[in-house]
Amino acid sequence: MVAPHGPRAGYRSALLCAAAAVVLTACQPLVDGAPSHTLLTVAAVLTAAGSADLRQRARRQRTEHELEHLAFHDGLTGLANRALFTDRLEQALRRIARSDRDVSVVYIDLDGFKNVNDSLGHAMGDSLIREVAAILTGAVRTEDTLARLGGDEFAILVEATHGSNEAVRIAERVLAALRQPLDLGTARVNVSASVGIATGDITSTGSSLLRDADNAMYWAKGAGRGRYVVFNPQMRSAAAERLQLEQDLWAALPEGQFRLVYQPVVDLVSERVVGFEALLRWDHPTLGVVLPERFLPVAEDIGLIAEIGAWVLHEAAAAAAGWQRQHPEVALSMAVNVSPSQLGSPDLIRHVREALVDSGLPPASLVLELTESVLVRDPVLAAERLRELRALGVKLALDDFGTGYSSLSHLRQFAVDILKIDRSFVSTIDDKEAMPAILRGLINLGRTLDLEIVAEGIEEELQRTHLRDGGAGLAQGYLFAAPLEQADAGLLLLGQADSPAGEDAAAPLA
C-alpha cells in the first residue's frame, strides 16, 4: 500500500510501535473523480528482511463501489440504467402527496435503429447510441434523471411544477436535436425518435407510469414516428389490444393465416391486364380479415416484417411465374411493396434473389414498390440498396408520388423505372376540368424522365379517358377490378386470352 496523504515515515513509526493495528482515514479518488473517505484498519507485517508491509481493506471497498456503480449505470453510455431509473421514479412518486411538483416520464425509442445495426454493424450501432445519449444529455435539465433502459430505448424522469408541460418542452428539444444527421466518423446517419409522455398521480406506481409512457410512445410510432404523444387513459385498452395483436402475429405465418390478393394493372390504350400488385391480407381467427395498415406497423416494431416480406416475395413471384407459363403472350409483371425495415436490411437482396430463383420469374418482371418516405429516411443507404436491387435486374417503382416528399431530386437520385401517381390526384378529375394542372404536370414530369406512369384509384370511366389521353400508360382501380384472389386473377387472364384486343377484358368480375 502507498499511504495516502501524510508523512509515510510517521505511518511506519506508528505501525511498528502499535501492539495490534492502527485505524486511519484515507481519501482516495473514485472512478468518476469524486473523493471517497475510507476507514482503514492497518496492521504491520514484518517480512524476512524486517520491513513493514501495510495490509488494508481499501482495495476491496473500492472494488465494491465500482461494482455498485456498474449495477446502476449503463456500461455503454454511462447513463443511469433501468434499475436506478426505477428506484428514483419510485422515490419521486412517493413525494407527490407532500409536494406541488408533478412526476412525468418521457419515453424515447429510436426509429429504425435495427436498420443501422443490420446495415452498418453493431460497432456503428454502439456509436449511434453514444451519440444519441450525448444529445439527450444536452436536452435535459441537471435535476432530471436520464437513463438508457436498454437497446435503443431511453427514459427521462422529470419532476417539476406543471411537470407535464416541462416534459413536453424536453420532448420537443429532443426531437429537434435528432433532426440533424449524426456524424459517426465513417458514416452520417439520419435518425428520428418516437416519444411518449406520461404524468403520474398518487395512484401511480413506477411500473404503471413507465408502461403508460411506453404506450404513448407506440401511439407516436403509429402516428408517423418522429413525434411525441401525451398519454391518455383510453390508450390502456388500445395497448392491451396491441399486445394481443403482437402475440397473434407471431402465430399468423406458421399457421398459414396470411394470403395474397392481386390488384390488376391495366394498359390504358389496349385495355388489357399487363400485371398485378400483390396485396397482403391476414385472416385472423377471431377478428376476420385484417388489412395491412393495421398490422404491418406492429410487425415492423416486433421484428417480423422481414420474415413476412420474404413470404410475400416468394408467393407473389411464384404466382406471376405460373401465370406467365400459362399466358406466354403477356409480358406480365408482379409488383410487391417494400417496407422501411425491409429496405434497411441487407437480407432484402437475398430474399429477392431467392424468390426469383425458386420461382423462375424473370427479374425484369418483378417490380418493387417504395414510397418516398422510405427513401428519404436514410437517402445514402436507400441509394445503395437500390443499386444492389438494380443489379439483380428487377424494376423499381416510386409509390404514392405527389404526396409528402415529392421532388425532382428524388427521381434523379434514386433512378426508379415507374412512377405511381397517388389516387388523391386522380380523384380531382371531374366533368368541369379535363385534367387538373398538377396531375398533368406529374404525368409530363414522368414522361420527360422516360418513366412508366401508373395512375392509382381509377373508379370512373371519365378518369380512364382523361388519363389515357393525358399520357398515363397504365392504371389500377375498381373500374377494372377489385383486388382478386389468385384463382379469380387467373380467370381474368384466361378471359382476356379469349377476347380480342380492345374489348373490355379488364371489366370488373361479377
State the pLDDT at residue 404: 53
Backbone phi, psi, residue 208, to 5°: -70, -40
Ordered per-residue pLDDT tens for the chain, 510 residues: 444 455 555 555 555 555 455 555 555 555 455 555 555 555 555 555 444 444 555 566 565 666 666 778 888 899 999 999 999 999 999 988 788 788 999 999 998 887 777 777 888 888 999 999 999 999 999 999 999 998 899 999 999 877 688 999 999 999 999 988 888 887 788 889 999 999 998 888 999 999 999 999 988 987 888 999 999 988 888 778 888 999 999 999 999 999 999 999 999 999 899 999 999 999 999 999 999 989 998 898 888 999 999 999 999 999 999 999 999 888 899 999 998 888 888 899 999 999 999 999 999 999 999 987 777 777 778 888 999 999 999 999 998 776 655 556 666 677 889 999 888 888 888 766 667 788 888 888 888 888 999 999 999 898 898 899 888 999 999 999 999 999 999 999 988 877 765 455 444 443
User: What CATH number should be reported for the domain whose range is 259-275+303-497?
Assistant: 3.20.20.450
**Is residue 170 within 8 Å of 158, Cβ to Cβ?**
yes
State the pLDDT at residue 510: 33
Give the span between the Cα atoms of 138 and 132, in whole angstroms: 10
Give the span between the Cα atoms of 81 and 70, in whole angstroms: 9
Q: What are the residue ranges of CATH 3.20.20.450 in the chain? A: 259-275+303-497
State the pLDDT at residue 1: 43
Using CB atoms within 10 Å of the CB of residue 208, give its burial: 0 to 12 exposed, 13 to 18 middle, 19+ buried. middle
**Is residue 328 within 8 Å of 292, Cβ to Cβ?**
no
C-alpha grid cell, residue 86: 426505477
Superfamily of domain 75-232, CATH level 4: Reverse transcriptase/Diguanylate cyclase domain (3.30.70.270)
**Is residue 275 within 8 Å of 367, Cβ to Cβ?**
yes
Give the span between the Cα atoms of 360 and 108, in whole angstroms: 45
Q: What is the CA radius of gyration of the chain?
A: 32
**Is residue 449 within 8 Å of 413, Cβ to Cβ?**
no
Backbone phi, psi, residue 395, to 5°: -95, 155
State the pLDDT at residue 228: 95
Query: 3-state class of 136 per DSSP?
Result: helix
pTM: 0.65
State the pLDDT at residue 474: 95
Q: What are the residue ranges of CATH 3.30.70.270 in the chain? A: 75-232
